[in-house]
Structure 1
Amino acid sequence: MLFNSFQFLLFFAVSWSLFLVLRGTPRKIFLLIASYYFYMCWNTKYIVVIWGITLIDFAAGLLIEKSRIGTTRRFFLGLSLFCNIGLLVVFKYLNFFNTSLTEIVHFFGGQQDLPIFRILLPVGLSFHTFQAMSYTIDVYKKKAPAEKNILDYALYVAFFPQMVAGPIERPRQLLPQFHHEPVLRSDRIKSGITLATWGLFKKMVIADSLSGFVNLVYASPRSYSGVELLLATLSFAIQIYCDFSGYSDIALGIARMMGYELRLNFAQPYFSRSIGEFWHRWHISLSTWFRDYLYIPLGGNRVRTFRLYFNLLATFLLSGLWHGANWTFVVWGGLHGMFLICSHLTAEFRGKVRTALRLDRYPKALESLQLLFTFILVTIAWVPFRASDIRSAWYILTHFYPFGGMSSMVLAAAGIPRANTPFLLGFVTVMFLVEWWIQHPHKAPNLWQSFSFRICCYYGCLYSIIFFGVFGHTDFIYFQF
């Protein structure tokens, strides 16, 4: 059941109506049943995985808090982590490891083939296992109390707006909200509807419109010219942002309509002036998870220079592997790690260049150059992320030039009629303009204070979804992770 489907619209209308009527424990029970139903629409039998994670980590949290002996606490934490990581290994990485080992064996002349299992990856497994692990780790570190109510903890794991693709919530932020009745105010409901509608606009009007062209070119990159490869790569950079941030906006919006507040997952990342800033703005819940539970325990930046670079690279390589069981994701993570290492290595040199060229006298021009350079690096890294394999990624990266020609037939074959192209360009422009205003609210036009103008904007967004949105079974990109 997708957020951008009529099935979900009906599901949420019924669920929200009953949610508003009920109170207390019956409301929580209904919300949990609705969340389980939402998940079971993908695969009924995998609800057992959710129940298993819930029971194991709930019990582990209680036992960790109750124990006073360090070794006992570590045992229960280790058991919880083993079960969660074990699920990821079995469902997501087992075939990847077997295939990789088979290739290594063949490289050295062996003939042994490791088995490939027919395993269907439970949707959103990486998200709710990481959320569950953050709970037991925080209880172990005494940063959060163990939850005593199994119903509240089950909602923490399975709250349907964010259980499939995040944001990855921390126990201190989400769990306390289930301890009391949510506050339902008209202004918060209106804000939630606005945010969810904006997310649908980004997903259905922009991301899904671009997806056909990106899929077409990346399926057989050797059939297209340099300019088509470049345009498809730029399109994917916009698609993945609108797709994932659109999902996050919808999740935050529908949660807010029910009186709950989820954490911000995107903060206009394409307006970043460095790769480090980009990762403070992109998929914030995941980047902070790796920072708090991997990078800092490894020593963070309070170590020698070589160890700092190791920590950065290890964190981003594992972050890449988290995204998918394919070496393309590992390369993507490695590229971002290398970008950050190079940023550290060249910091002094770049400072001297700015001083020599007197760029500090022109802060706007300097900021524009930094924004452009960061966007180029991020877009280059998206190539292996999107490519089917490393060879295809390398081909694309090395064949942007010569540009060659661009045929309108390619766009038509991708489901983008020539008449719709100006509208699509306009929608992308409007999206970035609105995102820039969100980042700089004091620079928003005074016209926005007019109620009539805001209503026109809301209706314009809604009509764009109706007339230009892509309807159908179009998955969100991050559902595969």
Structure 2
Amino acid sequence: MVFSSLVFMFAYLPLTLLIYYIVPRKGRNIFLFFINLLFYGWGEPKLIVLMLINIAVNYIGGYLVDKFRDDPKKRKLVLILTCVIDIGTLAVFKYTGMIVETVNMLPFLNLPTPQISLPIGISFYTFQTMSYVIDVYRGDAPVSKNPINFGTYVALFPQLIAGPIVRYRDVAEQLTNRKETLDEFTKGVNLFIIGLGKKVLIANQMGNLSTAMFATTDENGVVGTWVGIIAYSFQLYFDFSGYSDMACGLGNMLGFEFLKNFNYPYISKSVTEFWRRWHISLSTWFKEYVYIPLGGNRKGAKRQILNLIIVWGLTGIWHGASWNFVLWGLYYGVLLIFEKFVFKKVLDKLPSAIQHIYTMFIVVIGWGLFYFTDMSKLGTFLGDLFNFGNGICGEQALNLILSYLPLIIAAAVASTPLAAKLYAKVQNTKYIGFAQTAFVAAVLVLCTASLVNQSYNPFLYFRF
């Protein structure tokens, strides 16, 4: 079930909220636990079994790590075994096919490729549960003594499918002592609808444009190719940040406060800044649980470079079982190393506009690596970006660009904090409450009308 489906918006969510607020406070986590499992197993109930196994393994792991706090060897053994089970489960479901296909590149092997369906959200909730056990081991989070509360944390439906990756220590207090207020609920409704608008009104339309462009790559010309990947860049941002907004909004409706996952990444003036603003929860996870334990920047430049390569290789492979994702991760690892050790002093002296152009040039090309899983198509795409022999802009591409131009401009403006700054200036004026309500209602009506005519519109990050 997806947040942007009419079934979720007008049946599942209202009914869930109605029952949630009828149930006494002490019983709300129990209700949430079971409604979370219903949400996750919608359409494929067998996924619930895998979820329950993950919850049980990590609940027991956290319990034993805490129990053996006076026995370092046993604590460490439990931590290692729990993480091996988590990573092993993720690897089996996500990477078995990729491993077999890679091995089959050897001339004397032809192993059958297993057809294993990827459970939705497994990359996200695996990282959540691993962070819990690690934090309990480090003493950074209290152990959960209530399996229902822990299960509610793992399977909490607002952020279950595509994040943000919520650390247990950030919501431990909220699981047992949260306060649902009308102001928080209203904020959540508004945030949910704004996120819905990002997804339905911008991301889906940018997706239509990028799909149309990439379907006729030979006829696009240089400009058409660039517009196609720029449209995909907007699609990815508004799709994922829209989902994150919807998740945070749903959390507010239930009394939870999740950390912000995006902070206008497309206004960045360096690649380093971009990754401080994009998918913040994932970057934070890799920093805290991989980069710093490897030594971070504390063991000299050579070790720091190695650590960055490892982290970004893992970041790439986390996104998908395909070599283009590994390439994408290493691409950013190399660029971040280059910025830190070579280019930073030069970059800092450049005009802000040049810094921004440089960053977006890097990011947009990076999304090309992210998009094309077929290496031959990726090579063709990279060539088409600069191959003026194919023409400046094909006729069909030009017609598409002109028809989508107002939306492209709107997407560019919406990816900046301009609207937020304007709102901050007028938020205390007399009629702002009415205007805000009218705007949000209009977005909901437009989204609903659009969804009525769409059969399926999954979020892009569902496949990760």
Same fold (TM over 0.5): yes
Cα distance change of structure 1 residues 346 and 52 upon mapping to structure 2, 3 Å threshold: same
SS at match of 1:44: coil
Q: Which residue of 2 aligns with 1:363?
A: none
Contact 1:91 1:122 in 2 (8 A): yes
Q: How far does residue 468 in structure 1 lie from its aligned partner after superposition?
A: 5.3
Kindly report which structure 2 residues correspond to 1:325-404, keeping only aligned pairs within 5 A, or say none. 325-347=321-343, 350=346, 354=349, 366-401=351-386, 402=388, 403-404=391-392
Distance 1:426 1:462 in 2: 21
Contact 2:6 2:448 in 1 (8 A): no
Write the letter of the residue equivalent to 1:375. M
Distance 2:72 2:269 in 1: 44
Distance 1:3 1:283 in 2: 19
Q: Which residue of 1 aligns with 2:393?
A: 405
Distance 1:157 1:128 in 2: 6
Q: Which residue of 1 aligns with 2:22?
A: 21
Q: Which residue of 1 aligns with 2:207?
A: 211
Q: What is the aligned counterpart of 1:309 among 305, 310, 327?
A: 305
Is residue 190 from structure 1 mapped to residue 186 from structure 2 by the alignment? Answer: yes
Cα distance change of structure 1 residues 165 and 114 upon mapping to structure 2, 3 Å threshold: same
Kindly report which structure 2 residues correspond to 1:150-189, keeping only aligned pairs within 5 A, or say none. 150-180=147-177, 182-189=178-185
Q: 248-257 vs 397-406, which deviates more? A: 397-406
Q: 222-231 vs 334-343, which deviates more? A: 222-231
Cα distance change of structure 1 residues 384 and 200 upon mapping to structure 2, 3 Å threshold: same
Distance 2:339 2:425 in 1: 31
Q: How far does residue 280 in structure 1 lie from its aligned partner after superposition?
A: 1.0
Contact 1:317 1:334 in 2 (8 A): yes
Distance 2:336 2:93 in 1: 31
Q: What is the aligned counterpart of 2:294 among 292, 298, 316?
A: 298
Give per-residue Cα distances to partners, 1:24-61, cap 9 Å, x unaligned. Answer: 34222211111111011142111111000100110111
Kindly report which structure 2 residues correspond to 1:38-117, keeping only aligned pairs within 5 A, or say none. 38-67=39-68, 68-103=70-105, 105-106=106-107, 111-117=108-114
Q: How far does residue 120 in structure 1 lie from its aligned partner after superposition?
A: 0.5
Q: Which residue of 2 aligns with 1:33?
A: 34
Cα distance change of structure 1 residues 466 and 60 upon mapping to structure 2, 3 Å threshold: closer
Cα distance change of structure 1 residues 162 and 57 upon mapping to structure 2, 3 Å threshold: same
Contact 1:127 1:166 in 2 (8 A): yes
Is residue 450 from structure 1 mapped to residue 450 from structure 2 by the alignment? Answer: no
Distance 1:439 1:285 in 2: 24
TM-score by length of 1: 0.89
Q: How far does residue 74 in structure 1 lie from its aligned partner after superposition?
A: 1.1
Q: How far does residue 408 in structure 1 lie from its aligned partner after superposition?
A: 4.2
Q: How far does residue 440 in structure 1 lie from its aligned partner after superposition?
A: 8.3
Extract unaligned runs of 5+ from structure 2. none
Cα distance change of structure 1 residues 439 and 144 upon mapping to structure 2, 3 Å threshold: farther
Is residue 475 from structure 1 mapped to residue 463 from structure 2 by the alignment? Answer: no
Q: What is the aligned counterpart of 2:127 among 126, 130, 134?
A: 130
Q: Which residue of 2 aligns with 1:241?
A: 237
Distance 1:348 1:157 in 2: 40
Contact 2:224 2:397 in 1 (8 A): no
Extract unaligned runs of 5+ from structure 1. 360-365
TM-score by length of 2: 0.93
Q: How far does residue 448 in structure 1 lie from its aligned partner after superposition?
A: 9.2
Aligned length: 458
Distance 1:411 1:295 in 2: 47
SS at match of 2:316: helix
Distance 1:410 1:84 in 2: 49
Cα distance change of structure 1 residues 439 and 377 upon mapping to structure 2, 3 Å threshold: farther
How high is the sequence identity, in percent, across the aligned residues? 33
Contact 1:5 1:471 in 2 (8 A): no
Q: Which residue of 2 aligns with 1:6?
A: 6
Distance 1:5 1:146 in 2: 36
Write the letter of the residue equivalent to 2:14. A
Distance 1:28 1:256 in 2: 15
Write the letter of the residue equivalent to 1:392. K
Contact 1:225 1:404 in 2 (8 A): yes
Contact 1:195 1:249 in 2 (8 A): yes
